Each structure stands twice: as C-alpha cells, then as structure tokens.
Amino acid sequence: MKVLGVCGSPRKNGNAAGMLKLALKECAAAGHETELVELAGKRINYCGGCSACPPCNVKDAMQAIYPKLEGADAVIIASPTYFAGPPGLLKSFMDRTLTLRRKNFALKGKIGAVIVVGASRNGGQENVCRDILNWMLIHDMTVVGDGSPTAHFGGICVGRNPGEAEKDEAGVKTVVGVGKRVAQELAARSGRRAGEGVVWPAAKGEGRKR
C-alpha cells in the first residue's frame, strides 16, 4: 500500500523532513511503497475562496500534488512550529485541498498521521498537531497517533537547526511510533475486514484483540 509523506516546512531538508524520512523508513520496512513530497521551494498560492472547485483552477504546484494525495492509502504530514501554528506554506496547502473534499470526500478513509518539530520543548507542537489532525478529520480521514506505549498526538520533536531533531531521543521514539502505527493500520486493512481479529503488536505484552 502507498504512504505519501508531505513535508510542510519552507526549509528544504530541515528537521521536519528528516523526521518524516524516519517514519517513512518504518513504513517501507513493513513493505509499503513510500513517497516524500517537500513543499519547500514549490509555488503554492493561498486559497482565494472563489468556490469554483472542484476542480481547483489555480495553476501551481498543487496540481501535481492532488493526484498523489488521491492515490495514497496513508498520508503523513510533517511540519515545523511557527508561532505555535503551521507555517503559511502548509496552511495554504491544507486550504487548497478543499477541492478534494468537494470531490465527494476524495480523502475519506485514508490513514492520516502527523509529525511536528519546534525549537522549544513546549513551543506549541501540540497546537500544530491539532491543526493538522483537524484538517484530516474534516476530510473524513482516519487518524492515528504515535501508538502505544507513547500514544499521544503523533511525532513530536525538539530541534532548531537542521539535524538537531535527530538528537531528541524521546521525540524520535514518537516519530518511529508514527511510522510503525501507520504501517500496522495499513497491514491490518489489507488483510481483514474492518475491525476483525487484529492483535496490535504494541509494547511487549500489550497486544490486544479488537
């Protein structure tokens, strides 16, 4: 199954991209196809609210991203924290997906997960997670977090300069957890009818039937 990673940082190869690559690596190790799209350097205009969609008639980088989103089974969004919110680039990306919601909920049921990096320990990463998870819920996606035993809102890391987030051991655990959790959910979907007989291989001894 296909996992699309979208990095919303305006800085190419920064912390968010590094963390997203770690999560995608987990998905690839579990046998899933992965693709990374960095929004950095791409021209993505803000949604002008013209209400003409679908389709979106703004001719920019989003036109190549729409089919990637539609073709994915899971979408992981990674973002830096900017003033306790997502950067404008990522907000524009999210707003511009209105056309997919209006296309009979084209993202409905896809797995969604988030990874957020900030320079400070309590710099607002949870707010950014919330914003992105809200975007996923409004698309009627199925959201997962970082899975047990950490099991919170997704991958949350601390790092300022590129490469620093990799040194945040506790944060990296949550990022790897996101990758594993997405991979598990996709595997569960491919081999069963929804909700049947899955034992989640979470922490040792924690597997549970559902």
Ligand X SMILES: Cc1cc2nc3c(=O)[nH]c(=O)nc-3n(C[C@H](O)[C@H](O)[C@H](O)COP(=O)(O)O)c2cc1C
Binding segment toward ligand X, per CB under 6 A, in 46-54, 117-125, 133-141, 176-184 = 117-125
Residues 162-201 that bind ligand X (CB under 6 A): 162
Q: Examine residue 83 and tell whether it contacts ligand X (CB under 6 A).
A: yes
- The answer to whether the CB of 131 falls within 8 A of the CB of 137 is no
- The answer to whether the CB of 85 falls within 8 A of the CB of 70 is no
What burial class does residue 49 get, using C-beta atoms within 10 Å of its C-beta: 0-12 exposed, 13-18 middle, 19+ buried?
exposed
Q: Which of 197, 145, 195, 203 is nearest to 174 (CA)?
A: 145
Which of 2, 45, 95, 124 touches ligand X (CB under 6 A)? 124
Residue whose CB is less far from ligand X, 112 or 171: 171
Rounded-to-10 torsion of CA 66, 70, 71, 73? 130
Which of 6, 47, 69, 81 touches ligand X (CB under 6 A)? 81
Residues 14-53 that bind ligand X (CB under 6 A): 14-17
CB of 162 to ligand X, least distance (A): 5
Which residue ranges make up the site for ligand X (CB under 6 A)? 9, 11, 14-17, 80-84, 117-120, 123-124, 159-160, 162
